[in-house]
Structures are given as C-alpha cells and as structure tokens.
Structure 1
C-alpha cells in the first residue's frame, strides 16, 4: 500500500492547507519516515528518502515545541518518531544478546548509531576539526591527562 504511493516521487500527494503551500509532511510521508527509521535509518536519511528536507522536519518540530497550534497536527508523528528510534535500538540489542550468526554487525550498528550508549568507553571523542598543532600547551596537557586517566581506569 505505502510502497505503491512512493513509487513516483517518494512523497505521496501533499495535503492542501488553507491558503498556503501544501504541507509536505503528509500522513503518507510520515508513515514512510517512521518505517525507515524503525528499520534503523537515521532520521535525516529517512526524511531525504521520503522527499522532504530535514529543515522542513526541524521547523515543524521547533514550531510544535513553541506551542504553535498549527504544528499540533504533527504531535503524534513526533511521538511515534521517538518510539521508532527506540524500537530500532531494542531490535538491534535483541540480535546482539541472542548471539546468533552475525551478532557483531548489530553491535557495530549500535556503537555507531547510539555511541553515547554503546560506543567503547576507552575512546575519547573529539568533536570539531582542529589541527592539533593549534592547541595551546594547556589544552595539550589537559588532553594528555584525560588520555592517561583512561588508561589507568
């Protein structure tokens, strides 16, 4: 049913709104996004594959958070999106714990998809792109202390 609706352009038919542009986040698009996220795709990937921009999704989420009554139509969708993300993690963990053939790929998936929960703790994540030669002596000493502390733990 849904797959047929997405064969042409991946979006379904936009629902017209009163006097403005049609809403891109149609029920069909929402269902497609939720299905893709539930399969383990990143939200941004699912949104792009569904034919809308991530900025569109972020704008609606922001409007909903600010209490915009027009955005209320998407409250159920954003709640379902949180659930889909959690269910994807649960399904992957179930595969790891079952220990069957290929459990490592699910562990790899969890480490990368949810690094705050599943990444190895013996690594320090350095965010941003910065040339180490530009670090001050204090920053280098702090980094060295943190690295040594990790080895001792």
Structure 2
C-alpha cells in the first residue's frame, strides 16, 4: 500500500501535473492517449486537479497498486460519514460473506474518494482478523503442546 499526500501533487504546470500524477500514483510514465486525455481535462482548470487525483488513485490500476491519497485539509468526520453511509450495517458474527456481497454491490456507486477509504478500512479489518486468527492458532498449539508435554 502506498500513501500519498494529495496536496503534494497539486502544484506545477498542467504538463508537470499530469506527468507527476502518473509517475507518483501509478509508478509509470503516462501513455500518449492517457496523457492527452488528462491534460485536456485539467488544462487551465486547476479546480479539476483534485478530482483527477482521486479518480486516478481510485482507478483499477491505482487500486491494484494499493494507492491511498490523503488530503490533510479534508475533515476526517466527513470522510468517515461518507464511508459509513456507503458500507452495509454491521454484520452478525458468521455473516461475513453476506456483508461482503452487500459491499460488492455498493462498489459500483461509490465515489473514488469513498472507494479508496473503504479499501483502506477493509485492508485494516482483514489484517485485524488475520492477527486474531493467528493468535487463536498459537493458543491452540500451546494448549496441545501442554497436553503432550
């Protein structure tokens, strides 16, 4: 996972912005069509830069690279409430598959910034579940070893 401060990408000429966008978020130079397309979208329109950063980070390529864009000036409560509104209600234990299915259905309608935050929260949740399962396995192994010893 790669975290990027979105404010760091906003500066420079339109050309520099598009090249930086690709090189920082996607770890590559822009292809000719992509460069032309994105340059046309932001040319003399600095207000479009932030939206384009979120779109590129939320693109399939950006998601595959695990890119997360942070906006220091964004209100954390607003982001959290947007994510909470997009996520299904809390699941009962053992209902993880159903909850993930609901989440998958909602992915198509999420905005890029909400999708990125949802991906981050999901990664954190899965890491917590994996750590909990590892601790349970270690405890079982210790109990079994104690019985045999």
User: Structures share a fold, TM > 0.5?
Assistant: no
Normalized per residue, the structure richer in strand is: 2
TM-score by length of structure 2 reads 0.29
Normalized per residue, the structure richer in helix is: 2
Structure with larger RCO (C-alpha < 8 A, sep 6+): 2
TM-score by length of structure 1 reads 0.29
